[in-house]
Structure 1
């Protein structure tokens, strides 16, 4: 806790930018040297074949045999389930989580831009903007403990549902975050109009910055559940031969969410201009209608949550990491909901 507190309150008061960037650069250099110092102790394991080659073979074979007619009697079919084909339902389930990445991206863009022109004073103390990122990180840390406690509290046979619970909770928090951001932005716009600041984008808005605190806290929860549940999902639901690629695949999913954020701003901006109406993203933040954008994100996130629930009902959860060919029986999404409601470990552990 000491490091983020010091960095959040001390660094903003350092005026020279060379020192501001110099301190993190030195810390990064020291961390890199410590990391490199352990090179000699690393255990290098040679890869046994290429899993990517096997994946490509599945697609090539499917394409070449697409013209072959299926027999009328299904008993004449010969089917060998390739473990790499299990990525298909995994991708479908994870794809429903991409919109949540778009919500997460607002924290480093619009949220901070809103905070920059709001009243940051508490008495004589001026609250630095990185303080809200510190609250975000602290919430992320505590929600991570909450998720791990929930996962450890489930029995061995039910632990496979923990990632599904985490993803669902993250989506719910994403919806609440968008709704909260929309309501706060509506209030901010009303204050701007009341004090005649619509054409004065550089003036400070007489509205305390702490109105933004709830959405930063919710955003921290979304980020924590996204990281932990995605990692846990891939660890438990993919074949052992694919686990080495899951870190990169997870990063690809997160990256797709960032791209989705940019595209959502572009598409929503274009649609809002239809009929000669002004764009929701004006030349200045005071002339923009971010509240409408947040409401749109909330609606899309809610639809995405229902789509995820439908896929979760049909998804076959893997029982064991050691048994590569067996999948769990369909126990349904409502079983996950019941586990969520009855589990006593859902109370977060605050240390």
Structure 2
């Protein structure tokens, strides 16, 4: 660990010399940074290939190999996915507080290897065991928690000048692109391997890919340009500000921020290890009381941080408080987004799946969402940003908040598109009834591929909002809290899934009364799924209205000069 830290400091010194010592040094540093980031993108792709190879067909493994019922299998999958959406906060906390991002990534990559190895071993006929499989499965969920840490570590590789910030913004686009490539390969090719050649090979390949991910990450150690040191527990620092402010509730905070307590020095760094000083802001003025140095504080040396905090420490909490409303708006967005794996599939289950002699499974249509992301990422990076930059004059074309807002609007259009399709499907059903295939399968005589437009629109919304969230929570977080704040995106996604489930329960109970089948009955031909899509569109519009107010109120973070 100490040896690595020494290497890190040396790398920072070389970078500093390069910024002043010639174009050749600068190009050398840029090449090293590009190589390191490329390795991280490949690593992310390998991880998500493995993850989706496991998750996409997981419900069938529970039913076929572990003999679980359909409801039990579905619950097992959702519980596992929910766990995998929450654990990133734990990994992020560990990275920011104690281990740093490099060592946290290394640790969780190794945990993934062990998890996939156990899953593969449990798929063997000789070792098949539900307990063993669950153990491996939840180790994988824990290992998969490093996504926000990995994205933050990748963004750390860029400097603060204009060209570097532009490259950093582009990195987030390609990070999500690599995720999409992994989900496409894992959810199609490796699922086919599981179906055609068995679970042992189908799970063995992800295990090998996870080993390769570890090897690539470690091999790139010398190419990684920047390493954010751990700054201690952010929860402790936040608690200290709250306690100190409450203790001094009767103290008047000065109008001149220069009178508040801050670390001395001209290097621009705060008392928090590896964190730059933050400029004072006027929002949440009550918290400034924590940085007021009273006569009692001057009589005690050193002063306890539970009594006196620095301006930067206070501003850390303010940054988090400012981000929370933006984060909350992402929950409704995620609730609408999750329809691609729920109501979109229910809709497709009733439509004509035939393409010649082949039947397209309803869930396979989600591949068009992934393809849309893969199309929109380079389109956004190479066309939208330059065009928007000319129109707005902003370095990134669109501000982070504007980018997310565009995604909110696009997802609303996706819900409207799904509603229009449902109206058309019901009309076809009313005019032609259900067709019955030779094997007894019933379907509405309307091709399942009419769903492609709504999946493509959802993919565009992802590129604007989900990638915008990744960049926003990284950029607006204090230096020593970037992993934790980046983990907020996955937490919003998890809560969005829960909100979607709760909304369905509420709608079913509210509409299925007096003998009415309601909007979402078991047979959606008897219901009104279109009304549910209109409801989601209305909620999205209301959420966008709230988001506009939040965006107008939000003040972007500034470091102290």
Match of 1:324 in 2: 559
Count of residue pairs the alignment pairs up: 319
Name the counterpart of 2:238. Answer: 55
Question: Are 1:27 and 2:226 an aligned pair?
Answer: no
Q: TM-score, normalised by structure 1?
A: 0.76
- Aligned partner of 1:159 in structure 2 is 396
Q: Distance in 1 between matches of 2:397 and 2:371?
A: 27
Contact 1:170 1:222 in 2 (8 A): yes
Shift in Å, 1:216: 0.8
Displacement after TM superposition at 1:170 (Å): 0.9
Per the TM alignment, residue 93 of structure 1 is displaced from its structure 2 partner at its CA by 1.6
Alignment of 1:1-351 (within 5 A): 17=195, 19=197, 21-22=199-200, 24-38=202-216, 40-41=218-219, 42=221, 47-62=230-245, 64-65=246-247, 68-69=249-250, 79=289, 80=291, 81=311, 82=314, 83-129=316-362, 131-149=364-382, 150-151=384-385, 154=389, 158-159=395-396, 161-197=398-434, 203-273=442-512, 277-318=516-557, 323-325=558-560
Equivalent residues of 2:351, 2:443 under 8 A apart: yes
* Kept in 1: contact 2:331–2:493 (CA 8 A): yes
Give 1:197 deviation, angstroms: 4.1
Which residue of structure 2 aligns with residue 347 of structure 1? Answer: none
Distance (whole Å) between structure 2 residues aligned to residue 86 and residue 271 of structure 1? 40
Question: 1:87, CA displacement in angstroms?
Answer: 0.8
Alpha-carbon distance in 2 for matches of 1:46, 1:15: 42
Stretches of structure 2 lacking an aligned partner (at least 5 in a row): 1-179, 260-285, 292-310
Ranges in structure 1 where 5+ consecutive residues have no aligned partner: 327-351
Q: Which structure has the larger Rg over C-alpha atoms?
A: 2
Distance 1:243 1:10 in 2: 35
Q: Is the contact between residue 160 and residue 317 of structure 1 (CA under 8 Å) also seen in structure 2?
A: no
Deviation track 1:211-235 (CA, whole Å, cap 9, x = no partner) reads 1111111111122223210011112
1:6 deviates by 8.2
If asked which structure has higher relative contact order (CA below 8 Å, sep 6+), I would say 1
CA distance in 2, matches of 1:46, 1:289: 54
Match of 1:335 in 2: none
> Which SS does the other structure have where 1:279 is aligned?
coil
Distance apart, 1:35 and its partner CA: 1.9
Kept in 1, the 8 Å contact 2:434–2:445? The answer is no
Q: Whole-Å Cα distance in 2 between the matches of residues 30 and 17 of structure 1?
A: 19
Q: 2:527, 2:199 → 1: CA distance?
A: 32
Q: CA RMSD in A?
A: 3.8
Distance 1:31 1:138, change over 3 A: same
The 1:146/1:239 distance shift into structure 2, 3 A limit, reads farther
Q: How far does residue 172 in structure 1 lie from its aligned partner after superposition?
A: 0.8
Aligned-pair CA distance for 1:125: 4.8
TM-score (norm 2): 0.50
